Amino acid sequence: MSDFKKKVIYQIYPKSFNDSNGDGVGDLPGITQKLPYLSALGIEMIWLSPIYASPQKDNGYDISDYCQVDPIFGTMDDFEKLVTEAKKLGIEIMLDMVLNHTSTEHIWFKKALAGDKKYQDYYLLRPAQADGRLPTNWVSKFGGPAWARFGQTDLYYLHLFDVTQADLNWRNPEVRKELYQVVNFWREKGVHGFRFDVINLIGKDEVLLDDPTGGDGKPMYTDRPLVHEYLKELNEATFGKNATSVTVGEMSATSIENCVLYTQPQRKELSMVFNFHHLKVDYLNGEKWSDSPFDFSQLKELFHSWGEAMSEQNGWNALFWNNHDQPRAVSRFGEDQQYRIQSAQMLAATIHLSRGTPYIYQGEEIGMTNPNFEAIEEYQDVETLNMYQELIKSGLGADQVMRRIRAKSRDNSRTPMQWNAEKNAGFTTGTPWMKLAPNYLEVNAEMEQGSTGVYAFYQELIALRKKYAVISDGSYEKYESDHPSVYAYLRRLGTKRLLVLNNFYAEQTEIVIPTEFVRGNVLIHNYAKKKLEAVMTLRPYETLAIYLD
């Protein structure tokens, strides 16, 4: 049995973490150099976003060779050295497996294009419909139709993401076998963790049909019944051979019911899942590129319903605010000026004391913020650039479009890591591949490591999870769910209880706590100590956790 319930996993976006050779791009030796920093934080597993050979159209999520390291990140030797050095510090590696699609530069796709029938069956090729329309009405997640012309033929290939990311045909057993070999190749290099990219999209039906609602097609290919069978097979053929492996499925537009099934241990599918519902509470009518504040009551309702259902049915959540696709949480759900430190700490406590495995995305532990770049030229992400064009076409003014991009772009989290107040924040001695957030003089790892910084608070949270079984193993129950500004929950394990209170606003508020908690112990707090009372006053972005033995 793996102890992933006590671990905290740290996500590294290799391009933006640490550049060891001055070419402006972060690399594997750069990560190895920073292992002591991660070890001091208490990290036991690092997840690396894709490091494989790739044309980098989608920053490595477009893979052209699953078993090669992309030269921009270093060599296979560098990777092996990273595994060895990490192990010495008790840190394991989790790799990002992008098995739903390959780059159109992958040899399989090239052979398919050259007419090789075997490889044509590796992808999802379909003719146009009788009336000349595309094979289905599905929309690519990066904008535009999800089908593109397959070479000079009359066929189209499916690409749920960029046009250079062709979806694989998982119904073909040969494809599955090849992909399992990939996972085993990395297992043999000592990799214990796997994050499976958009893995709930692999179970596509044999006959691909139009979305009858006229929507974007999601229900037609998401969480289809075959996914569960493929995951069982993948588990058995690869990581399931190793009892201590840790796996997380990235689940696009999924449901609680399916995530319970993906993660119940006896079903032998995955250790845990990322779902994104809580990160859509600032989408107006489901539209990501809208301009609207987040809905706090919806956020709480989602945390409570997922927390309770997973707790009651023995499923397991991956807990996170940030990743390389999301804006910075402190700018989005906190306050990144006056209360940057307090709100970053409060956001950390909400997930680190909850039921599931917490993930930290690089820079979150020092309270990094959105960069608020002025011009579209400063953004690089393929989705952002596509959306800029689409939003301008839709008739919005350039100012309005830029406002949305500043709030929602995936590049918000992809700016280089801010290590110190020196040139380029210590990320590179060369020219960084992407501009830094301008606030690195005030927000950087060196400064945050002081006793009152964000880093120290994360350190404390990580240590608490290892020490208190009620945090790692306790059940989850909502508390005072109607409170207008506090998100609160209770954890319970036998007679032990933990009450977690989080004020999500800059205004002071009050909350009644169960009377017995007045004699509890405060395990962690982002303000100076205060007396526990039946009615607690919470200051701006205050968080505290009260333990009762």
Active-site residue set: 197, 250
* Nearer residue to ligand TEU within complex by CB, 322 or 543: 322
Nearest to 372 by CA among 326, 412, 321, 432: 412
Residues from 15 through 44 that contact ligand TEU (CB under 6 A): none
- Least distance (Å) between residue 134 CB and ligand TEU: 20
- Least distance (Å) between residue 288 CB and ligand TEU: 6
Contact by Cβ (8 Å): 431, 443: no
Residues from 459 through 518 that contact ligand TEU (CB under 6 A): none
Of 19, 27, 44, 58, the residue at the interface with ligand TEU (CB under 6 A) is: 58
Which helix (H) or strand (E) covers residue 503, if one does? strand 496-503
Angle between helices 398-408 and 382-393 in degrees, nearest 10: 150
* Nearer residue to ligand TEU within complex by CB, 278 or 324: 324
For residues 254-278, one letter each, b for 16 or more C-beta atoms within 10 angstroms of the residue's C-beta and e for the rest, the string is: bebebbbbbbbeeeebbbbbbbebb
- Least distance (Å) between residue 164 CB and ligand TEU: 11
Check residue 325 for interaction with ligand TEU (CB under 6 A). Answer: yes
What is the C-alpha R_g of the chain? 23
Distances (CA, A) of 477 to 230, 488, 499: 33, 9, 10
- Least distance (Å) between residue 216 CB and ligand TEU: 12
Distance CA 252, CA 274 (A): 8
Distance CA 166, CA 149 (A): 11
Tokens, residue 510: 């009050």
DSSP-based three-state secondary structure for 359: strand
- Least distance (Å) between residue 201 CB and ligand TEU: 8
Check residue 364 for interaction with ligand TEU (CB under 6 A). Answer: no
- Least distance (Å) between residue 89 CB and ligand TEU: 27
Q: Which single residue is written with the structure tokens 């599905």?
A: 138
Tokens, residue 357: 């495995």
Check residue 383 for interaction with ligand TEU (CB under 6 A). Answer: yes
Nearest to 326 by CA among 228, 433, 408: 408
Q: Closest-CB residue for ligand TEU?
A: 61
Contact by Cβ (8 Å): 180, 170: no
Q: Which amino acid would we find at residue 275?
A: N
Nearest to 23 by CA among 66, 67, 71: 71
Residues from 245 through 274 that contact ligand TEU (CB under 6 A): 250, 252
Q: Which amino acid would we find at residue 151?
A: G
Nearest to 228 by CA among 219, 236, 239, 216: 236
Of 61, 157, 359, 547, the residue at the interface with ligand TEU (CB under 6 A) is: 61
Check residue 223 for interaction with ligand TEU (CB under 6 A). Answer: no
* Nearer residue to ligand TEU within complex by CB, 405 or 470: 405
193-196 and 475-479 beta bridge pairing: unpaired
* Nearer residue to ligand TEU within complex by CB, 248 or 366: 248
Map residues 113-142 to x or -, x wherever contact with ligand TEU holds by CB under 6 A: ----------------------------x-
Check residue 335 for interaction with ligand TEU (CB under 6 A). Answer: no
Of 161, 230, 320, 547, the residue at the interface with ligand TEU (CB under 6 A) is: 161
Binding residues for ligand TEU, total number by CB under 6 A: 13
* Nearer residue to ligand TEU within complex by CB, 168 or 198: 198
Of 99, 191, 198, 319, the residue at the interface with ligand TEU (CB under 6 A) is: 198
Distance CA 543, CA 276 (A): 23
* Nearer residue to ligand TEU within complex by CB, 300 or 414: 414
Residues from 138 through 157 that contact ligand TEU (CB under 6 A): 141
Distance CA 528, CA 136 (A): 59
Check residue 381 for interaction with ligand TEU (CB under 6 A). Answer: no
Residues from 86 through 105 that contact ligand TEU (CB under 6 A): 98
- Least distance (Å) between residue 127 CB and ligand TEU: 26
Distance CA 268, CA 246 (A): 12
Q: Which stretches of the chain bind ligand TEU, using CB under 6 A?
A: 58, 61, 98, 141, 161, 197-198, 250, 252, 288, 324-325, 383
